[in-house]
Structure 1
Amino acid sequence: MELILQPWPWYVSGPLIALVLFLLLFVGKNFGMSSNLRTLCTICGADKKSDFFKFNWKSQKWNLVVMIGAIIGGFIGANFLTESTAVAINPETVEQLQELGFSSAGNAYLPTELYGLEALTDIKSILILAIGGLLVGFGTRYAGGCTSGHAISGLSNLQLPSLIAVIGFFIGGLFMIHVLYPLIF
């Protein structure tokens, strides 16, 4: 039980991810979480409004199972396999986040100031989440996939567009955390 209650080192989780990708490649599938959004929209009838959603969604049922498994696994991990809610991050990072107004930094997986229920009463938090969601959705569609699809599946397939997208993800992340984040908070 002790093995399950702690983070797994890279030399365990990395080969497991590689094994899953090898099995997906072997059966001719590509991994990516954002493709599930297209599938869900098609199931809900978006194919009647836009040609983008006109495809055989039943061929993507396997990926919906992956998405449901990620949700269930995250719930089990957060509620039953975690000894504490503290996150082991650098003390300097905790100090910087607390200076920006995130007093829950280092004590929670997500900052409760932004993701807690009380944040739904704050217009700034709602705007940040809505604008962030729109930008992520647009970026995912524009880039032809999400970070997991490009960084894990695309790079393992040696796809140049995925390498370009991953470099863009890193540059965007660095710009966000070092330039925009302090301005917003």
Structure 2
Amino acid sequence: MDWIYEPWPWYVSGAAIAFVMLLLLLMGNSFGMSGNLRTFCTLCGADRHADFFKFDWKAQRWNLLVALGAVIGGFLASNYLTADPAVAISANTVNELQSLGFESAGSAYLPEELFGSGIWSDFKALGLLAVGGFLVGFGARYAGGCTSGHAISGLSNLQWPSLLAVIGFFAGGMIMIYFLFPLIF
């Protein structure tokens, strides 16, 4: 039963994702987590305040099951299928992150410095999370979808805008890590 605690090989995970994308394509649907959030917000009444949320959310109910499955799957994987919660990263990366103040680097999946209970009293961490959340939300709306929607669904459907969005996501990530992140920490 040790195989349960090991990550799946890329060719198994990739084939599973390709199979799901084929099924969605044959059913005339597309995948993306930001679409789930839009559906959920509309379900909660956001359509009374913004035209963006005025659409037939009942036709997207299946999308809410995708979001629920992601939450349940993440919970099961982290609590029952993970032998070691640490991320396998190189010693050089651990040392570099620790020099930036991330003491939990290499020993925890989420950095305690950003996601621990201490952030509620650290205004810098709260500010970074708030600005980051706003930028991710704005970027997903401006790009017409999130990273999962463009990278998985859009690219599998050979959509040119999704290719441009994915290139932009990677370029933005590289700029953040190599130029902005060292200035912040």
Q: Does 1:60 align with 2:84?
A: no
**Residue of structure 2 equivalent to 1:19:** 19
Aligned amino acid, residue 79 of structure 1: N
Q: Give the Cα separation in 2 of the matches to 1:124 and 1:75.
A: 28
**Residue of structure 2 equivalent to 1:172:** 172
Deviation of the 1:37 alpha carbon: 1.3
Aligned amino acid, residue 157 of structure 1: N
Identity %: 65
**Residue of structure 2 equivalent to 1:133:** 133
Consecutive unaligned residues in structure 2, runs of 5 or more:
none
TM-score (norm 2): 0.98
Deviation of the 1:84 alpha carbon: 1.6
Q: How does 1:3-152 map to 2 (within 5 A)?
A: 3-152=3-152
Q: Give the Cα separation in 1 of the matches to 2:65 and 2:2.
A: 28
TM-score (norm 1): 0.98
Deviation of the 1:2 alpha carbon: 1.8
Consecutive aligned runs of 4 or more in structure 1 exceeding 6 Å deviation: none
Q: Give the Cα separation in 1 of the matches to 2:28 and 2:147.
A: 20
Aligned amino acid, residue 134 of structure 2: L
Q: Give the Cα separation in 2 of the matches to 1:6 and 1:140.
A: 32
**Which string of whole-angstrom CA distances, capped at 9 and with x for unpartnered residues, describes residues 18-51 of structure 1?**
0110011111110000011111111111111111
Root mean square deviation, CA, Å: 0.7
Give the total of aligned pairs.
185
SS in 2 for 1:158: coil
Which segment is superposed worse, 125-134 or 89-98?
A: 89-98
